[in-house]
Amino acid sequence: MTAQDVGGVPVVGGVPVRHGTIEVAGLRSPLLEAGPQAASEAVVFVHGNPGSSQDWLPLLGQVGAFARAVAFDMPGFGRADKPEEGFDYTVAGYAAHLGAALAELGIGKAHLVLHDFGGPWGLAWAAAHPDGLGSAVLLNTGVLTGYRWHYLARIWRLPVVGDLFMASANRSGFGLLLRHGNRRGLPRPFVDRMYADFDRGTKRAVLRLYRASGDTAGLSSSVTAALEPLRRPALVVWGARDPYIPVEQAHRQGRAFAVTDVVILPDSGHWPFVDDPGAVAAAVLPFLRRSTAPAAPAAPAV
C-alpha cells in the first residue's frame, strides 16, 4: 500500500493522512493522524530506534478507515526536538512523554502498535496506566524476558568506544547495519529517510537511552506483573531473521497478554512492516478492527 497526494494531502487506502505538530513540555514533534480526529479511543503507533512516525504511514492510513490512528516522533528521533538537556532519555522518561502526548491529544484509551524500543516505552506507560490500554500489536518487540543485548547495543553502552563508533557512522555503514537487520534489504527511500534523521541529536539520544537501560530483567518483571492480571488482547508479529531481538521472544508474550495469534514471517527481519508490508497488514488490520469495534449492546433482561 503506497501513499498518494491529493491536493497536497497524503491519501493511503483512500483515507487522508493529516500532518501536524504536537508540543509536550516544550518539545515539538511531527504528528500524523487519520480517521476521526476527536475520538478518545485511538490506535497509537510508537516507533523504535532509529525510527519516526513516517515508518507507520501506510499502516496508519489503512487503520484510519475504521478508527482514529496517530503517530508522532519521539524526542531525539525523526524530526522531533532533540534537546541536549531537559529531557529524560530513559524508558521511564519516554513512557512519561508518551502519556503526556496522549493526554494532549485527548486519547483516553490506546490500542498500541509497537516496534523495537517503542515496546519498552509503550509497555512501561501501559503498566502505569492499565485502564488506558485497550490492546497491543507487538512487532519484533514486547516484554523481553531473559533478553540479552545485541552486539550493537553492547557497543553503544560502552563509554568512549560507543561514542567513537557512533561518530564514525556514515551512509554506507548505516545501510549495511540496516541490511544486517533485514537481509532481504529495505527500500532505498526508507533507508535514505532514516539516515537523514540519524543526525547528531539522534546519535546522542541513542547512546543515552541504551546506557540508561541496563535492567531489562527488572523492567520485564514489573511490566509483566502489571499487565498479566489484565489479560489485554495482543497480536504478535515477528520477522524470524531479526538479529537484534530473537524470534523466541515472540512466543513469550503470552505471559503478559492474552495473545490471540503469533505470526512469524520466516524471511523477514527487524522491520517486517517495511520488508513485507502486505503480510503485516493482513495480520494487523483485522486484529485492530476487532479491537476497536464498539462493544455489542447487552441483551435485554428477560
pLDDT digits over 229-287, tens only? 999 999 999 999 999 999 999 999 999 999 999 999 999 999 999 999 999 999 999 99
Which has the closest alpha carbon to 257: 298, 291, 216, 289?
A: 291
Q: Give the pTM.
A: 0.93
The pLDDT confidence band at residue 2, using thresholds 50, 70 and 90, is: very low
More confident residue, 148 or 215: 148
Mean pLDDT of all residues in 98-114: 98
Domain ranges of the chain: 3-292
Residue 298 pLDDT greater than 60, yes or no: no
Residue 87 has pLDDT above 60, yes or no: yes
Q: DSSP string of 175-211? A: HHHHHHHSTT---HHHHHHHHHH--HHHHHHHHHHHH
Distances (CA, A) of 52 to 103, 116, 142, 195, 216: 20, 12, 18, 11, 23
Rounded distance, CA 64 to CA 149, Å?
35
**Least confident window among 26-35, 69-78, 152-161, 254-263:** 152-161
AA identity, residue 169: A
Query: Confidence class of residue 296 from pLDDT cuts 50, 70 and 90?
Result: low
**Rounded to an integer, what distance in angstroms lies between the CA atom of residue 119 and that of residue 276?**
20
Confidence of residue 56 (pLDDT cuts 50, 70, 90): very high
CATH of 3-292, one of 3.40.50.300, 3.40.50.1820, 3.40.50.880, 3.30.230.10: 3.40.50.1820
